[in-house]
Amino acid sequence: MATVSYKDAGVDIDAGNQFVENIKPFVKSTKIPGVLGGIGSFAGAFELPEGYKKPVLLSGTDGVGTKLKLAIDAKIFDTVGIDLVAMCTNDLLCNFGEPLFFLDYYATAKLNVEEASLVIKGIAKGCILSECALVGGETAEMPGMYQEGDFDLAGFCVGIAEKDELNRIERISEGDILMALPSSGIHSNGFSLVRKVLFDKLEMNLDDDFQGKALKNVLLEPTRIYVKEFKNNKDNINALAHITGGGITENLPRVLPDNLKAVVKRSDIKVLPIFDFIGEHVELEEMYRTFNMGVGMVLVVSPSKVQNLLDSSDAYVIGTIEKGKKGVEFI
């Protein structure tokens, strides 16, 4: 009687082993103080840093949404890993947490070692930019679950913060200034709408020119990571909001008390050209509740600290905190 192997069923253990060998240098490049052991164990180990009075562990998980579909279609695999890390580590900053370590989950129909290795290379770069370690992950071949050529990503990050610094809402006062840290592009939200407008409605192609660059490179520009800016300016910031899905409209109120509102001057926002272009086909309010519009982070800063941010970062003023029902008022 003929026998059937795991490889016959669509899962190649040898390819998985080769993949692990390929990514070992990338993982090693992210090693920071606190990492115990290396890749290949059943769990990643990390020793908590000293110097914290009341340390609290923070955790976050995210993916990159349908931006991943564009990366697959464009066959550009070395940037979405940066997006994956960014979406997790940027969130931790909003609770004044500093990233410690990261893990990834990569699932596919059939493991393409070369493509998967490029993805992990990007994840390692994202970890370096976030000053955290890549301590492990999981790769799953699931024929029948995914179509051939497709894969999915999820990321998981753990950070650390002082317990007394977690609640940022109580530090916000009337008269505080809103400052924007620019985004690098669309980041990793709103791509279902991007694809609907650019590819379905306008029938554009990934290789089309957009202001001197291939459209695919504009769309797949990696999400900016703000860890270094946060660490350099931590003492100057009362609160910060990561502008992801929901835009400024939905994310900024998450850091506001019930009796204060954010008043944002639209004309002061440095809107990126890609948003101006998409905005020709989408209502303005829909744009601002879907995309970051060129603002990756909004910082809430005391007036006396504004100059420090202007001198030490590329942050710029976009509004103020005023009395009123919690929310965002655009003027």
Residue 159 and residue 174 in one domain: no
Residue 47 belongs to domain with CATH number: 3.30.1330.10
Cβ(85)–Cβ(222) under 8 Å? Answer: no
pLDDT (average), residues 70-99: 96
Give the domain extent around 263: 169-330
> What pLDDT, in 10s, does the model give residues 254-303?
999 999 999 999 999 999 999 999 999 999 999 999 999 999 999 999 99
Residue 8 lies in a domain: no
Q: Are strands 260-264 and 328-330 parallel, antiparallel or unpaired?
A: parallel
Whether residue 146 sits in one domain with residue 207: no
Q: How would residue 6 be classed by pLDDT, with cut points 50, 70 and 90?
A: low
Q: Quick check: is 5 in a domain?
A: no
| Whether residue 87 is found in the same domain as residue 185 | no
In a shared domain, residues 188 and 125: no
Kindly indicate the confidence band of residue 8, based on its pLDDT and cuts at 50, 70 and 90.
Answer: low
On whether both 211 and 317 belong to a single domain, the answer is: yes
- Whether 41 and 188 map to the same domain: the answer is no
Whether 309 and 223 share a structural domain: yes
Q: Are residues 97 and 43 in the same domain?
A: yes
Q: For residues 191 and 177, state if they share a domain.
A: yes
Task: Please tell me whether residues 143 and 17 are part of one structural domain.
Answer: yes
45 forms beta bridges with: 36
In the chain, how many domains are there? Answer: 2
Based on the fold, state whether residues 298 and 323 are members of the same structural domain. Answer: yes
Checking if the pLDDT of 11 tops 80, the result is no
Do residues 108 and 151 lie in contact, with contact meaning Cβ atoms separated by under 8 Å? Answer: yes
